[in-house]
Amino acid sequence: MAGLTLENINKNFGSVVAVRDVTLLLPDGQFVCFLGPSGCGKTTLLRLIAGLEKPSRGRILLDEEDITHTPAHKRNFGMVFQSLALFPHLTVGENVSYSLRVRKTGKAIRRQRARELLDLVKLSGLIDRHISQLSGGQRQRVAMARALAIEPRLFLLDEPLSALDAKLREDMQLELRMLQQRLAVTTILVTHDQREAMTMSDLVVVMGPDNRVHQMGSPLEIYRNPADTFVADFIGTSNLLDGTCSGPREITVRGVRLEISEMPDGMALDTTVTVSVRPEEVHVLPGTEEGGNRLYGSVSFVRDVGSSVEIYLDCGGFQIVSQSTPKGRPAVKQGDRATAVLPPTACVVLRS
């Protein structure tokens, strides 16, 4: 099948394990994000794919061709580095057409191609500038144009937006996504910013501090159905409640029975589990109203940031956070007794 396959990839630096048992299949034409906290091995994994590192174990296949031992300069990939790594001694145009120069393409064609690429990233007219004369956002675009010059089989990006300020960063995310869709190039982006991963990608690969892949799926899938507590906690915010399995569709949390609409397969009675509920799924009602799937507590804090309202409920030893729109804001204030409703469909059961 067409795409990039990683088989049992392991990478050690001396006694330090950077990547552990990674097996992935990334289909063609997709925008994939490697997401994880710093030190989880996501950059190393990208460098392994680029050929800048050799795996200690495992194979890398591209369209069923083994490229594990192909050196970086023969892979025909395009990569954007965290530092951007633009050549300070070359002009913008020379930077962009560098890979053509390496492939001994004629000067005129190189310049023509550089123009096209600069048009593509909206930098027309800057072809003869020096790198030092560009702004941060412009350098970013040059680095992207440069990596796309040979129409690479894979477009790799290592946290390229991390140096930009928040506003510019969001613009660039959108632009990058549209560029990728237009060119339909298989793209892998490494980031530690889950918002960035969610907005841009078709597929998210979540890596954890144990240097393993925890989950791979579409952003929505990962958000709605996190595979484990790490993913639930790392992607967005989540109420994580420890409990035990007390029936075919029931978990008991601190004496309260919660009905669950979907249970993982093969869950035995009395198994300790974690229930994850997203804050926006939790409804808060004033006072203590009896009913199913409810937890009771007092309001410890109300955070109103204008676009949304967060209510923190102290339920005697654990905390529930609820998020709502300003319109649906519950009529409670700090110190009030309140009830949190956890709909059965919103409760995701994770093995502890």
Residues in contact with another protein by CB under 8 A are 50-52, 71-79, 81-83, 85-89, 98-99, 101-103, 146-147, 149-150, 156
Closer CB to another protein, residue 53 or residue 281? 53
Cβ atoms < 10 Å from Cβ of 236: 16
Closer CB to another protein, residue 159 or residue 196? 159
Laid out side by side, the sheet with 309-314 consists of 283-286, 337-341, 294-304, 309-314, 319-324
- Closest approach, Cβ 138 to another protein, in A, equals 16
CA distance 192 to 47: 16
- Closest approach, Cβ 259 to another protein, in A, equals 53
Q: Name the residue with tokens 């300003």.
A: 326
Contact residues for 76 (Cβ-Cβ < 8 A; gap 6+)? 150, 152, 153
Q: Name the residue among 228, 138, 134 with its Cα closest to residue 175.
A: 138
**Which DSSP letter does residue 12 get?**
E
- Closest approach, Cβ 135 to another protein, in A, equals 14
- Closest approach, Cβ 47 to another protein, in A, equals 8
HSE at residue 72, side-chain half, CA atoms within 13 A, is 13
Closer CB to another protein, residue 81 or residue 318? 81
- Closest approach, Cβ 97 to another protein, in A, equals 10
Closer CB to another protein, residue 97 or residue 238? 97
- Closest approach, Cβ 74 to another protein, in A, equals 8
With beta carbons less than 8 A apart as the criterion, state whether 147 and 154 touch.
no
Q: Name the residue among 155, 136, 139 with its Cα closest to residue 147.
A: 155
- Closest approach, Cβ 31 to another protein, in A, equals 19
With beta carbons less than 8 A apart as the criterion, state whether 217 and 203 touch.
yes
Closer CB to another protein, residue 147 or residue 176? 147
- Closest approach, Cβ 255 to another protein, in A, equals 56
Closer CB to another protein, residue 155 or residue 234? 155
Closer CB to another protein, residue 83 or residue 272? 83
State phi, psi for 58 to the nearest 5 degrees. 100, 175
Q: What is the CA radius of gyration of the chain?
A: 25
Closer CB to another protein, residue 52 or residue 168? 52
Measured CA to CA in angstroms, residue 139 lies from 134, 143, 170, 189 at distances of 6, 6, 16, 18
HSE at residue 296, side-chain half, CA atoms within 13 A, is 9
